[in-house]
């Protein structure tokens, strides 16, 4: 039976921290509001094993549909296949470079390229530090092309207690980009009741000190 849910393409590239992509798939599966189409690069399968200590096939089972990264004839390679857009989580600098320069060497890069040309939302959770000039220029290029560069920068206003809390914050920010409702972190609505008093305003003279 064909799903009537909107589709979201999820790419997991070979960058460090595949936990972000896994957490996104787990959140989307739990929400059940979109149909997920997953593309996992060969490098990502290795990092899933090494860093997440997970079986790549078990991770793939979290998605509704899985596409072979070598299959450039897959549905997500065509703009006529309607989707909400695509999130690459995490996005390696290699994948960033491919997207920035329109080099569709595999299905993951091709699906991202399609997302841009169809003017759909493309979110790249870029994972590298420190950033070199080439990385920064590629980030500028994809941003100018319409993508959203969303590095996994944790927000501490939600008072995270665990690493999973930090990951959930980034995943929630990704979902926000697609208008997918979630409750993965506490949104800021002002200082909590137990917060210390705000410091007094400084005078113009004090500001110069």
Query: Which residues are annotated as part of the binding site for dimethylallyl phosphate?
Result: 157, 173
Note if the bond before 130 is cis, omega within 30 degrees: yes
Q: Count Cβ atoms below 10 Å from residue 131 Cβ, excluding itself.
A: 13
Q: Which residues pair with 87 in a beta bridge?
A: 10, 123
Helices of type H across the chain? 19-31, 42-50, 56-60, 93-100, 107-117, 133-144, 163-177, 204-207
Strand order from edge to edge, sheet including 85-91: 65-67, 35-40, 7-12, 85-91, 121-126, 148-149
Query: Are 88 and 95 a contacting pair, CB within 8 Å?
Result: yes
Question: Which segments are annotated as binding site?
Answer: 14-16, 41, 92-95, 127, 157, 173
Distance separating alpha carbons of residues 44 and 16, to the nearest angstrom = 8
Binding-site residue set for FMN: 14-16, 41, 92-95, 127
DSSP 2: -
């Amino acid at each position: 039976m064909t799903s009537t849910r909107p589709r979201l393409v999820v790419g997991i590239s070979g960058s460090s921290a595949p936990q972000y992509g896994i957490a996104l798939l787990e959140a989307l599966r739990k929400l059940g509001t979109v149909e997920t189409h997953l593309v996992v690069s060969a490098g990502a399968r290795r990092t899933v094993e090494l860093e997440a200590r997970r079986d790549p096939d078990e991770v793939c089972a979290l998605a509704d549909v899985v596409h072979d990264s070598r299959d450039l004839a897959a549905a997500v390679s065509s703009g006529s296949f309607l989707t909400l857009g695509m999130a690459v989580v995490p996005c390696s600098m290699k994948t960033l470079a491919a997207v920035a320069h329109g080099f569709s060497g595999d299905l993951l890069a091709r699906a991202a390229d399609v997302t841009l040309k169809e003017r759909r939302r493309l979110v790249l959770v870029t994972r590298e530090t420190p950033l070199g000039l080439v990385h920064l220029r590629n980030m500028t290029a994809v941003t100018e092309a319409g993508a959203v560069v969303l590095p996994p920068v944790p927000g501490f206003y939600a008072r995270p207690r665990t690493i999973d809390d930090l990951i959930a914050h980034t995943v929630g920010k990704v979902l926000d980009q697609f208008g997918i409702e979630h409750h993965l972190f506490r949104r800021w609505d002002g200082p909590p009741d137990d917060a210390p008093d705000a410091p007094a305003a400084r005078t113009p003279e004090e500001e110069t000190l």
